Amino acid sequence: TQLLEQSPQFLSIQEGENLTVYCNSSSVFSSLQWYRQEPGEGPVLLVTVVTGGEVKKLKRLTFQFGDARKDSSLHITAAQPGDTGLYLCAGAITGGTSYGKLTFGQGTILTVHP
Amino acid sequence: KAGVTQTPRYLIKTRGQQVTLSCSPISGHRSVSWYQQTPGQGLQFLFEYFSETQRNKGNFPGRFSGRQFSNSRSEMNVSTLELGDSALYLCASSLRLAGVRETQYFGPGTRLLVL
């Protein structure tokens, strides 16, 4: 059974601050995806990382996939109120009986105060 | 290209009833996965359908079932509803190409409330 431990569970910060969300597992994943979800809506894909050590940047968001493909982090620089939401990491294993299944972390509820 | 669509968006049912939810994947996507999201358990995998066949199944009771049609549209059914089935049900689609590390794209979900 693959598990993803996501931390912190809650994050309340002021506009302009930086933050990092972590996603850790004892399992190796073929890829890891980060999503952002608004209340009552489905998760919206932010990024997919597939190579160990990979770093991807999306404006003020920086995503990193660990060398061993067991962990990942999301760093937000100069957070804005519009960044408020639920952030989810999800791991995928390609092939065999794992196809089509994402294993999700518990999520991080981020609140950015003006 | 249109995204994943789910109908209905909201449902209210009573215990013991059954419910059918529908999902239309992104055009060209052949795989549909279903998830249940609750505040306590987060997002949990229900099952995945590809080429009209269930290929993978999560740890849910047999009351949860699904099917996929030749146009890749999928339905999931929950029979004999229980209060604990109240949740946001999400479907996600992907291309499902062999050997490819794929990304899943989610629909807006169906909010089910069981009274």
Per residue in B52-62, pLDDT (tens digit) is: 999 889 999 99
- pLDDT value for B93: 94
Percentage, residues of chain B above pLDDT 70: 95
Give the separation between CA B83 and CA B13, rounded to whole angstroms.
Answer: 10
Number of helical (H) and strand (E) elements in chain A, helices listed first: 0, 11
Per residue in B7-44, pLDDT (tens digit) is: 999 999 999 999 999 999 999 999 999 999 999 899 99
- pLDDT value for B26: 95
- pLDDT value for B63: 97
User: B36 - beta bridge partners?
Assistant: B44, B89
Indicate the residue of A44, A88, A97 with minimum beta-carbon distance to B56.
Answer: A97
Structure-block tokens of residue B45 = 């995998």
Residues in contact with B69: Cβ distance below 8 Å, sequence separation at least 6, in sequence order: B52, B75
pLDDT interval class at A110 (50, 70, 90): very high
Is the pLDDT at B81 greater than 70? The verdict is yes
Is the pLDDT at B100 greater than 70? The verdict is no
Task: Give which of B54, B93, B106, B110 to mutate to test A binding, by max A Cβ within 10 Å.
Answer: B106
Question: Are the C-beta atoms of residues B49 and B65 closer than 8 Å to each other?
Answer: no
Q: Which of A27-36, A93-102, B99-108 is the least confident region?
A: A93-102
Q: Tokens 């994050």 correspond to what residue?
A: A11
> For residues A7 and B102, which has the higher predicted lDDT (pLDDT)?
A7
The burial class, CB within 10 Å (0-12 / 13-18 / 19+), for B93 is buried
- pLDDT value for B35: 97
Per residue in A57-106, pLDDT (tens digit) is: 999 999 999 999 999 999 999 999 999 999 999 998 766 666 778 999 99
Three-state DSSP class for residue A28: coil
**Interchain proximity A31–B101, CB inside 8 Å:** yes
SS3 breakdown of chain A: % helix, strand, coil, rounded to 5? 5, 50, 45
Indicate the residue of B96, B103, B109 with minimum beta-carbon distance to A42.
Answer: B109
Is the pLDDT at B80 greater than 80? The verdict is yes
Q: Tokens 């109908």 correspond to what residue?
A: B7
- pLDDT value for B95: 84
Is the pLDDT at B79 greater than 80? The verdict is yes
